[in-house]
A and B are shown apart, each in its own frame.
Chain A
Amino acid sequence: MIDKQISSPAEAVRDVFDGATVMVGGFGEAGSPIELIHALIDQGSKDLTIVSNNTGSGEVGLAALLKAGRVRKFICSFPRTANSTVFPELYRAGKCELELVPQGTLAERIRAGGAGIPAFYTPSAVGTPLAEGKESREFDGREYVMEHGLKADFAFVKGRSADTYGNVVYNKTARNFGPIMAMAAKVSIVQVESVVEPGGIDPESVVSPGIFVSRVVEVAEPAHESELIAAGVSYP
């Protein structure tokens, strides 16, 4: 019998290790798996490389993980957001490395990583500082830059609902990086509002097929970053 349901976020992130690469879904607060991130803060792993589009707001979620000093390197496209002060301070103090990647290149590197493609050519960033030092090649008279696929040890993803086989559906623009990160990680952990029995999700509606998902954990009422910040929450 297959049953990917895990009883709690703490249990779901138990084996994250020091030095691990962790992909974290979300675009701003939409799709940010806050409960999994907070469980990781409690769990204590450090020297992490985090792959996520943004670096978090306030002192909750990703910003709280950064503030706790657990992140050695951040791979992202936009480390500046309203209410985002933790990352800028760490970066300026030389305490967190940054690899800045154009958003579409970041998405495609993750997709490629999950799809068994080691590298690819893209027109994005050609002629800009973000292409410096990278291999480039001309196809049909246009220059492209080579980018490498990106894989991870773990992915933390937020969905709306999943079945115990790991099939996932998402909510609106909270889907963003979730499906491709689930593909690119050895262990993909998805928090959802409800876990249902196999057959509870129409196969035509499945966005992440269960083969890409290792663990699902129910967080019935997930917090939103903006609400926590408005309430003055600082984690832990």
Chain B
Amino acid sequence: MSESMTQRVGWTREQMAQRVAQDIENGSYVNLGIGIPELVAKFVPEGRTLIYHTENGLLGMGPSPEEGEGDPELINAGKKQVSAIPGAAYFHHADSFSMIRGGHLDLCVLGALQVAQNGDLANWSTGEEGAIPAVGGAMDLVAGVKKIYVITQHTTKTGEPKLVESCTYPLTGLGVVTRVYTDLAVIDVTPDGFRLVELTPGADFAYVQERTGAQLLPLSH
């Protein structure tokens, strides 16, 4: 076993997704963002049924089809081919975003570039010169869905904190994030700021605080 493996701190992407899945109540209507959030569906505990919404017009999204079984007209928001479960429904975009904006969805799990201690989220643009701006449905989801969970690496590839005092990237929404799941910890956004909920294996409070760009409140017992 290599040195880096024995010293690994925290969770893998799959473990992060698995941890999020534990917190989703039976019967929830859920929208999963593109990327790590999509993994959450694989880890829903037995005995719980969730209904997945995809903003391009499907409630009751099922897993990817078998090779060769897919339909280019049955896709998810990431434009990948999916399936529809028995009991699924199709609808047009205005209805789909009425579900979102109208507060009918229980939970949305999204990725992030930055989360601020007041719950502000930046996840659509780094504001980089020459980049093509693209927002999709993120601003509607955070404005309308009852609970917003963020699943993200704790820091960027270059080690910069993604949990910060205030976002420097263009915002997606103001004060919208409820809870953050990272490779190092589970952290709630509270009126007092970031509060630690759970540490991952090998990470202690000081280790996580050092990698967080805002004050972290300790576990409350």
Stretch of B39-47, B71-79, B107-115, B146-154 at the chain-chain interface: B71-79
Q: Is B58 an interface residue (CB 8 A)?
A: yes
Pair B97/A104 contact, Cβ less than 8 Å = yes
Given A28-B79, A78-B134, also A103-B55 (CB < 8 A): yes
Q: Is the beta-carbon distance between A81 and B79 smaller than 8 angstroms?
A: yes
Of residues 133 through 187 on chain A, the ones whose CB sits less than 8 Å from some CB of chain B are 170-180
Max chain B C-beta neighbours (<10 A), residue from A28, A29, A173: A173
B90 near A100 (CB under 8 angstroms)? no
How many interface residues does chain A have, given as a range?
35 or more
Tell whether, in the assembled complex, residue B130 and residue A77 are in contact, meaning their CB atoms are under 8 Å apart: no
Q: How many inter-chain contacts with C-beta < 8 Å in the A-B complex?
A: 147
Within 8 A of A (CB), among B42-97: 54-58, 71-75, 79, 84, 90-94, 96-97
B79: min CB distance to chain A, Å:
4
Q: Is the CB of B97 within 8 A of A103?
A: yes
Is the C-beta of A125 less than 8 angstroms from some C-beta in chain B?
A: yes
A105-122 to B contact mask, C-beta < 8 Å, 1/0: 111101100000000001
Give which listed residue, A30, A78, A87, contacts B136 with CB less than 8 A: A78
Report which of B75, B135, B137, B173 forms a contact with A127, defined as CB distance below 8 A: B173
A170→B90 contact, CB < 8 A = yes
In the complex, which of the residues A81, A92, A111, A172 has the most CB atoms of chain B within 10 Å of its own CB atom? A172
| Given contacts A98-B133, A108-B94, A179-B92, A31 and B73 within 8 Å (CB-CB) | yes
Closest B residue to A110 by beta carbon equals B94
**C-alpha spacing A179/B95, complex, angstroms:** 10
A211 at the interface (CB under 8 A from B): no
Given the complex, which residues of B lie within 8 Å of A101, measured CB to CB?
135
The main secondary structure of chain B at its interface with chain A is loop
Interface residue A126 (Cβ < 8 Å from any Cβ of B): yes
Interface centre among B84, B93, B171 (most CB of A within 10 A): B93
Q: Known: A126-B174, A172-B71, A173-B54. Is A100-B134 also a contact (CB below 8 A)?
A: yes
**Within 8 Å CB of B211, what residues of A?**
none
Residue A202 at the chain B interface, CB threshold 8 Å: no
Do A124 and B75 touch across chains, with their CB atoms under 8 A apart? no
Contact A124 B57 (CB under 8 A): no
Provided the pairs A82-B79, A110-B94 are in contact, do residues A172 and B137 lie with their beta carbons within 8 angstroms? no
Which of A87, A103, A123, A128 is in CB contact (< 8 Å) with B93?
A103
Q: Looking across the interface, which residue of chain B has its beta carbon closest to that of A29?
A: B72
Q: Is B165 located at the chain interface by the 8 A CB criterion?
A: no
Q: Is the CB of B97 within 8 A of A30?
A: no
* B170 part of interface (Cβ distance < 8 Å): yes
Q: Which of B101, B130, B135 contacts A123 (CB 8 A)?
A: B101
B117 on the A face (CB < 8 A):
no
Interface string of B15-45 (1 = CB under 8 A from A): 0000000000000000000000000000000
Contact B134 A77 (CB under 8 A): yes
- Is there contact, CB below 8 Å, between B140 and A128? no
B100: interface (CB < 8 Å): yes
Known: A27-B75, A104-B101. A125 touches B133 (CB 8 A): no
A68 to chain B, nearest CB (A): 20
* Contacting residues, chain B, for A103 (C-beta < 8 A): 55, 93, 97, 135-137, 140
**How far does the Cβ of A178 sit from chain B's closest Cβ, in whole Å?**
7
10 pairs from A and B in contact (CB 8 Å cutoff): A29-B79, A31-B73, A102-B139, A103-B93, A123-B143, A124-B144, A128-B173, A171-B73, A172-B71, A174-B73
Residues of A within 8 A of B (CB): 27-31, 53, 77-82, 87-88, 91-92, 98, 100-108, 110-111, 122-130, 170-180, 207, 224-227
Kindly list 11 other residue pairs between chains A and B, CB separation below 8 angstroms, not including A27-B57, A103-B140, A172-B84.
Answer: A27-B56, A79-B132, A79-B134, A103-B136, A104-B97, A105-B140, A111-B94, A172-B71, A175-B91, A179-B92, A226-B72
